[in-house]
Amino acid sequence: MNGGDNLYLWQQSDWPQWRYDATRLTRLLAQVHHAQGHLLGRMRDLGLGLRDKATLQVLTEDVLKTSEIEGVRLSP
């Protein structure tokens, strides 16, 4: 997708009929799935306290990054 100057997905000229390379996307999703499984296995070794802390940190970062996309900067 080439967005040009459009800020939001719904502003794209091909919204919502996107075009993508399914082969490339499948490979990338497989890599993510593998890394996710590895991460979950490592987190299991940490114990409940550290695992909860790591989960909270990831969720916080996700909220912060999502807000930045919308132009809002939040303090952690």
* pLDDT tens column, 2-51: 545 767 878 888 888 878 889 999 999 999 999 999 988 887 887 778 88
In eight-state DSSP terms, residue 74 is -
Q: Which pLDDT score, from 0 to 100, does residue 3 have? A: 47
Q: Which pLDDT score, from 0 to 100, does residue 26 have? A: 95
Angle at 36 (CA atoms; ends 52, 73), nearest 5 degrees: 60
Q: Which pLDDT score, from 0 to 100, does residue 34 have? A: 96
| Beta carbons of 18 and 9 less than 8 angstroms apart | no
Q: What is the dihedral of CA 35, 36, 42, 45, to 10 degrees?
A: -160
> 60 vs 70, which has greater pLDDT?
60
Distance CA 11, CA 4 (A): 10
Distance CA 1, CA 42 (A): 35
